[in-house]
Structure 1
Amino acid sequence: MPCTCGNWRRWIRPLVVFLYVIGLVVAIPVCIWELQKMQVGVHTKAWFIAGIFVLMTIPISLWGILQHLVHYTQPELQKPIIRILWMVPIYSVDSWIALKYPDIAIYVDTCRECYEAYVIYNFMIFLLNYLTNRCPNLALVLEAKDQQRHLPPLCCFPPWPMGDVLLFRCKLGVLQYTVVRPVTTIVALICQLTGIYGEGDFNLKNAWTYLVIINNASQLFAMYCLVLFYKVLKEELNPIQPVGKFLCVKMVVFVSFWQAVLIALMVKVGIISENNTWEWKNVKDVATGLQDFVICVEMFLAAIAHHFSFSYKPYVQEAEEGSCFDSFLAMWDVSDIRADISEQVRNVGE
């Protein structure tokens, strides 16, 4: 059968491979040119090594996204999956740029930090959509279950009533991080411009200390609501093996956050000091660069884990219809999120 526009599934994959090879042909000479242009030091070596990991990470992630677009047979499940899969390339490219240009790190990291909240929310939507397809009246299923008490460390609080209340509060608990994280990120940018941010410096006079506490509390509560939701509906969720998917999301979000805190502590106690800044301007840039370098390496491992945990294979059907272009456009449609936020705000107001 000839490769025509109607037979796009036959030529789209070779096209992607071809474009990636062209990208490598362009990117590698640019990297070599950069290395020859300047005296090679630790900073440049770190940037070059991180770039190799980025070049290995991107095709794995984009291939998984493309396969979901090609086999876009269950939009209500695959749309949040595709949004989750975008986390790895966004983290990877963002960290690589920040590693090269530390002066703009706080600005490019804004995208990464906001997107992690978006990913947690989409994971919750993925679970809810799956359950809704299997159990149209999910609230009644919850009401039929035994009362679920809070998990440590919140076990001393009164349990949330089973049914609509539990469902609403778990969803709201995840959604609040989607709002808190962008707000604190904007505050961080303002504080940086006014000179009171003090990234990496645990000092009560710096805004960074308070924002870390707020973000951590909000993030932990969002993850707690996800764990509580899974514990209540474990039996219904088992067919999609949510534990591996949850760990993929949790490890990327939590590890990157706590790495930043650990590196800040290393700066505070003097393990990373002004005596070892290499080509960076100061110890703060060293800490930021170390965090970005480690993320570039970790994203390669995360891409492999996401490829298997969020596989496209369960969605492959013999009779497939639809256009890949339509699937691509649907991926960017955020009307569902806008409607969801409006509904949650209205419920809170009531």
Structure 2
Amino acid sequence: MPCSCGDWRRWIRPLVVVLYILLLMVVLPLCIWELQKSGVGTHNKAWFIAGIFVFMTIPISLWGILQHLVHYTQPELQKPIIRILWMVPIYSLDSWIALKYPSIAIYVDTCRECYEAYVIYNFMTFLLNYLENQYPSLVMMLEVQEQQKHLPPLCCCPPWPMGEVLLLRCKLGVLQYTVVRPVTTVIALICQLCGVYDEGNFSSANAWTYLVIFNNMSQLFAMYCL
């Protein structure tokens, strides 16, 4: 019988493997040609070696994603896992492109950093879905637990009441980063276009200094809430 779309679980993995091999057959000669054309300098060597690891990383990540899609038995857990797994190829390709073309690094990094915030949101979703599956009365279980104090350096802050309030504030603590990160990324892009953004240069006249401090504080608080 002819293969139908309903049987996609049977042919999707072989298809992806074949497509990836074809992609390698095209990309690898192009990389070698680019290496020979530009000369074998230190930067080009680093770019070529990084490319080898990128094209080793991507199939491993894609295979994990495909395995979840083929064995999609717990959507509420596997959906955020799949979104998190996409972080690996996105990060590796971003780094590889930025290494080759530093002038456009700020633009590809913008997409990467927005996805980073999205991944943290999905990680929180995964944790909550898992806990709710394992403990349907999670809020009630938390309410009867002993009140917990904040860890340093937030130990001077009033504790969050156990139960629904605790879960809500943890959610908000994580979600603030999913807003802060894209906003600061767009600001960084605007500052780059205005010529006041120099990554890695700690200076009071450099917008990067303030953005990196603000981002790190937001990220640390999100990690604390997780």
TM-score, with structure 1 as normaliser: 0.63
Matched, 1:4 2:23: no
Residue number in structure 1 paired with 2:207: 207
1:3 deviates by 7.1
Matched, 1:20 2:26: no
Residue number in structure 2 paired with 1:53: 53
Secondary structure of residue in 1 paired with 2:11: helix
Deviations 1:247-281 (A, max 9, x none): xxxxxxxxxxxxxxxxxxxxxxxxxxxxxxxxxxx
Residue number in structure 1 paired with 2:63: 63
Residue number in structure 2 paired with 1:117: 117
Map 1:2-151 onto structure 2 (within 5 A): 4-5=3-4, 6-151=6-151
Kept in 2, the 8 Å contact 1:3–1:10? The answer is no
| Amino acid in structure 1 at the alignment position of 2:117 | A
Residue number in structure 2 paired with 1:222: 222
Deviations 1:304-341 (A, max 9, x none): xxxxxxxxxxxxxxxxxxxxxxxxxxxxxxxxxxxxxx
Deviations 1:113-164 (A, max 9, x none): 1111111111111010111223333221110111111112212222110011
Residue number in structure 2 paired with 1:174: 174
| Amino acid in structure 2 at the alignment position of 1:155 | C
Kept in 2, the 8 Å contact 1:9–1:70? The answer is yes
1:59 deviates by 0.1
Compared CA separation, residues 92 and 111, structure 1 to 2 (3 A): same
Map 1:215-294 onto structure 2 (within 5 A): 215-226=215-226
2: CA distance, partners of 1:209 / 1:8:
49
1:57 deviates by 0.3
Deviations 1:81-117 (A, max 9, x none): 0010000000000111111110000111111111111
| Amino acid in structure 1 at the alignment position of 2:61 | S
Over the matched positions of the two proteins, sequence identity in percent amounts to 80
Deviations 1:157-212 (A, max 9, x none): 22110011111000100000000000000000111111111221100111100001
1:36 deviates by 1.8
2: CA distance, partners of 1:10 / 1:80:
23
**Is 201-210 or 130-139 further displaced after alignment?**
130-139
Kept in 2, the 8 Å contact 1:141–1:163? The answer is yes
| Amino acid in structure 2 at the alignment position of 1:31 | C
| Amino acid in structure 1 at the alignment position of 2:29 | P
| Amino acid in structure 1 at the alignment position of 2:154 | L
2: CA distance, partners of 1:131 / 1:39:
55
Kept in 2, the 8 Å contact 1:3–1:11? The answer is no
| Amino acid in structure 1 at the alignment position of 2:95 | S
1: CA distance, partners of 2:170 / 2:212:
23
Structure 2: which 5+ residue stretches go unaligned?
none
Aligned length: 225
1:37 deviates by 1.4
TM-score, with structure 2 as normaliser: 0.96
1:64 deviates by 0.5
Kept in 2, the 8 Å contact 1:200–1:208? The answer is yes
